[in-house]
Structure 1
Amino acid sequence: MLVIPPNNLMLRHGNRQVKMARLGGARTNRIENCIMRAKPAAETVQSASSGDDYQSWLTREPSFVTTGGGLDSDVAALKQFSDAGDGLLQLSTGGKGLDHKNLDLTRLIKDKIHDVRAAFLRVHAEAVYSSLTDTFAQPVRIQSLVDTAVRRYPGLLPSASKITEDATRSLKEKEGHERAIGLLLSHIFANPRAGIHLLQSMLRPLPDSVEETAKFSRDGVLDLGAAVLRRTGKAAELLMYNPEYLNAEDASTIGPMEQAVDVAILDPITEVCVLRGTPAQHPRYAGRNIFCSGLNLTHLYEGKIPYLWYLTRDLGFVNKIAHGLLDDPDAIDDPMPTVEKPWIAAVETFAIGGGCQYLLVMDYTLAEKSAYLTLPARKEGIIPGLTNMRLPRFVGDRITRQAILFDRRLEADSPEGRMIVDQIVPDGEMSSAVEATVQKLTSSGSVSTVGNRKALRVCQESLDDVRRYMASYAREQVKCHLSPALVRNLEDNWLKPKGKL
């Protein structure tokens, strides 16, 4: 039988003390009643009644070894503690998953498991990452890293079945299993050796990129669906194509975009890359090119944008544009063993959210006179990628805060807009402006251009700067992604105005 602590019992909850009396007598009774009524879970888990009653579990926290030799025993202790917590969760909800009636209890249990996982990672993050990469000998992408960690370290992350099931739920119905993924990645990025290795792994070309590059070199065009590459003289134009959603970013675009960036950089004929939008289907923009409308908020609300999407995007094709491709497997310790190309952005109509983020990794940006830039991440309830690190270099701290925290819209043809946009182009004349810019940039060859962009990056944005930022971003973004405030913001600011609720 589960034993509920008396109202005046002081409990340890991570590094905090929680006095049960503060819950209030009626509230405590509701928790006790719901546990006493709970039925055994359908899924087989370690039962809390087998020596792990509520009181003893909640007040017991494993002590992890701080010096070598304790990883295996600490993994076992973590798994045992996590399994017992899962058993309590199953009993408190009757095996039915998230139960909003029992949020006080489930939150307490989940937070305790989270705190213990964090304590484990503070000691063992580098050892865990080393084991997942064959002692740093093998590159690993973020998704593969997480998938392998799920199998090798039960208790550190939820089971594969739980993660898979949660992925089918809408955003407001998710159980929050991705929180543990964010915790793991935050600790990996906080470790200099592991974090740099993961960043460099994400800069490697995708497995099919060499083959796709050969096709593009031969044909001069490569249609990847949501991204289309075409050769125009010395340039490779990357066209974003998601017309149904105003060229928004979602799960259907991230793979093709990264593949296209790989090919554009690897192609031996290309000297400069151009990022541009395509016409949208919306009648409001008939006949006009759309650069990018940012994250697909409809898909986000429907639960189709997983937490790892943000990190895969930011450390995949966006970071490849900024830092180039790591193509020498023997140069992992070289701070810049990259092959890269200069990039030009051609902004037509608008660059919203993620579209605006692209401009911060460009070498030159053209924009139509009527175009505008916005970063509505606060209104949505998320962090806008690496914008918080990059945008202050362009517009300073004050305007950065106004854009991110107060939804300030920047007209391209304004003093502030021109801090990001290099050249204003009359509406309808973008193609000729791009052609002239490519000619100007390549007239003396691109070798010095690449060397100069690397030299600029040494002072402005080293890979270690990205690593330190990601240690915070990985932790904070998962909080935002799973927050009820995000759901509320999407409903109030996106769905209701469009009549979708």
Structure 2
Amino acid sequence: MNYNNILIEKENGIALITINRPEKLNALNKATIEELHHGFGSLEKDAEVKVIVVTGSGEKAFVAGADISEFANFSVEKGTVLAAQGQEMLFDFVENLDKPVIAAVNGFALGGGLELAMACHFRVASDNAKMGLPETSLGVIPGYGGTQRLPQLIGKGRAMEMIMTAGMVTAEDAYRAGLVNHVVAQAELIEFTKGIAQRIMKNSGVAISKAIQSINANFKDGVNGFETEIKAFGECFGTEDFKEGTTAFLEKRKAVFPGK
């Protein structure tokens, strides 16, 4: 697939997806969501890729929100479909990828941009980043999972205030609230995030995939996360990664995981 709105670079097991609509502050329109879906899906199938990092082009914005011009005149029915399709195609899709996805938040992450960052497995922010869900100032609510993921990350009370006031928080505020894991200078953002990716890559990709599934299970209605963990734990014993990991430990050497 030829991409018009995203860039993909791959190096040493790390894939970097850059949302590339600088003239729109990387706002998410339908075409960009479709390209991201395809990009993430292709990287998940790529055996050479172990970790995915997603960021925005330029220094101003990760993603400044959804492209409001696309849905300003939507009906109730169209609005409902917009949210349902977007969640399925991108936000839930990213959250449930088998490979780790890290958001490198450079600049503004607003509305759908923050929702995309929250769908990633964790977040690193540049020190100039600002985050918020301003939808109520437009007469609507977050529709790409924001009302669900924000309380999971920072707690109900803080999430209520952020959504009701439509306000933004700084990178430091986001760090203190648990919304992001690290805050670094913008010039260091990508290399710092890749450094975390390299640490992840030293471990078993199969085990990491099982861990993602088990952690996510705790936040799904009707799913017993403990049972999911037990099943995934048992399945690890049948993998080549488990045999290599335990053998390497007993032989007092570093494991070289085959990813199987």
TM-score for the superposition, normalised by structure 1:
0.42
CA distance in 2, matches of 1:356, 1:368: 14
After TM superposition, give the deviation of residue 390 of structure 1 in Å.
Answer: 1.6
Question: Residue 358 of structure 1 aligns with which residue?
Answer: 116
Return 5+ residue gaps in structure 1 as ranges: 1-211, 213-222, 280-287, 325-339, 466-501
- Residue 460 of structure 1: SS of its match in structure 2? coil
Contact 2:175 2:182 in 1 (8 A): no
Once the two structures are superposed, residues 129-172 of structure 1 have per-residue CA deviations (whole angstroms, 9 ceiling, x without a partner) of xxxxxxxxxxxxxxxxxxxxxxxxxxxxxxxxxxxxxxxxxxxx
Return 5+ residue gaps in structure 2 as ranges: 225-260
Contact 2:127 2:185 in 1 (8 A): yes
- Does 2:6 match 1:235? no
After TM superposition, give the deviation of residue 416 of structure 1 in Å.
Answer: 5.8
Question: Residue 67 of structure 2 aligns with which residue?
Answer: 296
Work out which of the residue numbers 254, 258, 262 in structure 1 matches 2:41: 262
- Residue 53 of structure 2: SS of its match in structure 1? strand
Contact 2:217 2:223 in 1 (8 A): no
Contact 1:265 1:341 in 2 (8 A): yes
Question: Residue 473 of structure 1 aligns with which residue?
Answer: none
- Residue 359 of structure 1: SS of its match in structure 2? helix
- 1:74-223 alignment to 2 at 5 Å? 223=2
After TM superposition, give the deviation of residue 229 of structure 1 in Å.
Answer: 1.7
CA distance in 2, matches of 1:445, 1:229: 24
Work out which of the residue numbers 86, 101, 105 in structure 2 matches 1:313: 86
Work out which of the residue numbers 172, 181, 186 in structure 2 matches 1:427: 186
- Does 2:219 match 1:440? no
Contact 2:91 2:145 in 1 (8 A): no
Work out which of the residue numbers 383, 388, 392 in structure 1 matches 2:147: 388
CA distance in 2, matches of 1:245, 1:417: 30
Gap change, CA 1:417 and 1:227, over 3 Å in 2: farther
Which structure would you say has the larger RCO, counting Cα contacts within 8 Å and 6 or more residues apart? Answer: 2
CA distance in 2, matches of 1:372, 1:402: 16
Query: Which protein shows a greater Rg?
Result: 1
Question: Residue 230 of structure 2 aligns with which residue?
Answer: none
CA distance in 2, matches of 1:401, 1:346: 25
CA distance in 1, matches of 2:66, 2:89: 16
- Residue 365 of structure 1: SS of its match in structure 2? strand
Once the two structures are superposed, residues 265-320 of structure 1 have per-residue CA deviations (whole angstroms, 9 ceiling, x without a partner) of 111111111111112xxxxxxxx25210111123333669x533322111112111
RMSD: 2.2
Once the two structures are superposed, residues 450-481 of structure 1 have per-residue CA deviations (whole angstroms, 9 ceiling, x without a partner) of 1111111121235879xxxxxxxxxxxxxxxx
CA distance in 1, matches of 2:60, 2:136: 26
Question: Residue 124 of structure 1 aligns with which residue?
Answer: none
Work out which of the residue numbers 333, 344, 356 in structure 1 matches 2:102: 344
After TM superposition, give the deviation of residue 239 of structure 1 in Å.
Answer: 1.2
Question: Residue 399 of structure 1 aligns with which residue?
Answer: 158
Once the two structures are superposed, residues 235-268 of structure 1 have per-residue CA deviations (whole angstroms, 9 ceiling, x without a partner) of 1111112222110011221211111111121111
Once the two structures are superposed, residues 177-204 of structure 1 have per-residue CA deviations (whole angstroms, 9 ceiling, x without a partner) of xxxxxxxxxxxxxxxxxxxxxxxxxxxx
Contact 1:228 1:260 in 2 (8 A): no
After TM superposition, give the deviation of residue 354 of structure 1 in Å.
Answer: 0.7
Query: Percent identity among equivalent residues?
Result: 20
- Residue 291 of structure 1: SS of its match in structure 2? strand
Q: How many matched pairs?
A: 220
Q: Report the AA paired with residue 431 of structure 1.
A: I
Question: Residue 494 of structure 1 aligns with which residue?
Answer: none
Worse overlay, 295-304 or 435-444: 295-304
Contact 2:13 2:49 in 1 (8 A): yes
After TM superposition, give the deviation of residue 421 of structure 1 in Å.
Answer: 0.4
After TM superposition, give the deviation of residue 403 of structure 1 in Å.
Answer: 0.9
After TM superposition, what 4+ stretches of structure 1 lie above 4 angstroms from structure 2?
Answer: 415-418, 462-465
Question: Residue 89 of structure 1 aligns with which residue?
Answer: none
